[in-house]
């Protein structure tokens, strides 16, 4: 009966019902913690990313190019001043991140798909920052700080996650733009890489290719396919990232400066048409993943949980799944994944983003035509 109740409520969330379900949301049992899912807001059209504002409201991006400020009661207010984006295929307005010392008027960083200035047939990921005026709900002083090169044809594999590391540097994940996978083995371009820059877009002197002789100065790692989850390990300070495989071969990696993560020279996956991409799953001078998923779950969003609301989950890693439509919890022992659990799989929703809020709850975004911002709360 519990599974049926959960499915009915989850379906209602996705079509616009169960809007404020605090009093009647069903209890959900998991291996270590019992919880309920609270709908903070629905009616979002393919939301992509979530950030938490100092006043307790939420900032949510939609792929179509909308940015919303959502009050704790679910009331949505559109943020004006968002630049035009290339909204085709998987492209659009993507990740958002607040500057580490954000305050009213502080910088918001956002990634998005953008065409070339003189050719609308080619595009790639760009990152900009702008000042967010919370009194006027407006972005001002828009500055583009990074443009992925080269711009190419196609509408898939933009990467686009943003992360401020403990040293204050901004990391940007980039896809290999699907049809250009061989470029991922070339660190002199940006396709299939992660980028490390200063908050103003300039190059840190300690970047692995800072002198430009063996790679682009802004490149931090290469040989990546399409990274859409990145997080700092709360104890070690290491940067963990997951990336989409093709048909099979999704990976979790620990990012190291200058390292090659293999795509497409090595992979656990095959092409979407069933053809072999590589006969190798490992090679010298290429980093092996700490975990791979075959079949693919299509991971998106990533967060280490370190809050007190769910003490049973402290130290666990949470990953959204688009294809398999669940929230995956991973128990860790050092760098090893010891257990995995699928949560919310009865809801049938594509989970695009997962974050720990400043209040210690877990928040997720469902990537649907009528998507939702949801909060996981423990049972009293």
Catalytic sites, residue numbers:
157
| 257-269 burial code (b ≥16 CB/10 A, e <16) | eebbbbbbbbbbb
Residues whose CB falls within 8 Å of the CB of residue 207, separated by 6 or more in sequence, listed in order: 196, 217, 218, 219, 220, 257
Specify the 3-state DSSP secondary structure of 352.
Answer: strand
Number of Cβ within 10 Å of residue 324's Cβ equals 17
The strand pairing partners of 37, in sequence order, are 376
What is the C-alpha separation between 34 and 47, in angstroms, rounded? 27
Tokens for 34?
């019992």
Do you know the residue count of the chain?
380
- Between CA 80 and CA 167 the distance in angstroms is 31
Q: Residues 94-103, buried b or exposed e (16+ Cβ, 10 A)?
A: bbbbbbeebe
Please choose, from the candidates 331, 371, 332, 376, the residue with its C-alpha nearest in 3D space to the C-alpha of residue 348: 371
Under a CB-based contact definition with an 8 Å cutoff, are residues 193 and 221 in contact?
Answer: yes
> Whose structure tokens read 């959900």?
28
Distances (CA, A) of 223 to 30, 92, 193, 197, 259: 36, 24, 6, 19, 8
Tokens at 251, concatenated: 């990976």
Cα–Cα distance between 204 and 220 in angstroms, integer?
Answer: 10
Tell me 12's DSSP state: H
| Whole-angstrom distance, CA of residue 174 vs CA of residue 124 | 9
Report residue 28 as tokens: 């959900």
Residue 342 host element (H or E): strand 336-343
The tokens of 215 are what?
């790679």
Task: Give the SS3 label for residue 53.
Answer: coil
């Amino acid at each position: 009966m519990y599974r049926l109740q959960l499915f009915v409520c989850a379906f209602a969330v996705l079509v616009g019902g169960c809007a404020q379900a605090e009093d009647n949301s069903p209890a959900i049992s998991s291996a270590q913690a019992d919880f309920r899912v609270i709908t903070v807001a629905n009616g979002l059209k393919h939301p992509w990313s979530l950030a938490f504002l100092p006043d307790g409201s939420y900032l949510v991006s939609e792929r179509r190019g909308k940015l919303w400020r959502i009050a704790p009661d679910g009331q949505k207010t559109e943020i004006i001043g968002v630049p035009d984006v290339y909204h085709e295929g998987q492209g659009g307005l993507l990740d958002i991140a607040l500057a580490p010392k954000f305050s009213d008027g502080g910088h918001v960083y956002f990634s998005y798909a953008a065409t070339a200035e003189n050719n609308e047939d080619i595009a790639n990921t760009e990152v900009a920052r702008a000042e967010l005026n919370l009194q006027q709900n407006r972005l001002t002083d828009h500055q583009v700080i990074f443009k992925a090169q080269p711009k190419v044809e196609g509408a898939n594999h933009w990467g686009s996650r943003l992360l401020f590391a403990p040293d204050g540097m901004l990391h940007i994940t980039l896809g290999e733009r699907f049809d250009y996978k061989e470029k991922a083995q070339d660190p002199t371009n940006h396709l299939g890489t992660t980028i490390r820059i200063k908050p103003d877009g300039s190059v840190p002197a300690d970047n692995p290719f800072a002198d430009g002789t063996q790679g682009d100065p802004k490149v931090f790692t290469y040989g990546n396919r399409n990274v859409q989850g990145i997080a700092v390990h709360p104890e070690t300070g290491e940067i963990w990232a997951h990336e989409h495989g093709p048909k099979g071969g999704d990976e979790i990696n620990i990012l190291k400066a200058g390292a090659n993560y293999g795509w497409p020279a090595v992979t656990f996956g095959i092409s979407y048409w069933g053809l072999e991409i590589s006969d190798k799953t490992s090679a010298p001078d290429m980093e092996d993943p700490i975990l791979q998923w075959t079949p693919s779950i299509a991971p998106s969003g990533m967060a280490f949980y370190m809050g007190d609301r769910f003490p049973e989950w402290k130290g666990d890693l949470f990953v959204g799944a688009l294809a398999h439509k669940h929230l995956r919890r991973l128990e860790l022992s050092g760098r090893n994944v010891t257990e995995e659990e699928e949560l919310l799989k009865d809801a049938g929703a594509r989970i695009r983003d997962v974050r720990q809020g400043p209040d210690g709850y877990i928040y997720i975004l469902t990537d649907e035509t009528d998507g939702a911002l949801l909060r996981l709360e423990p049972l009293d």
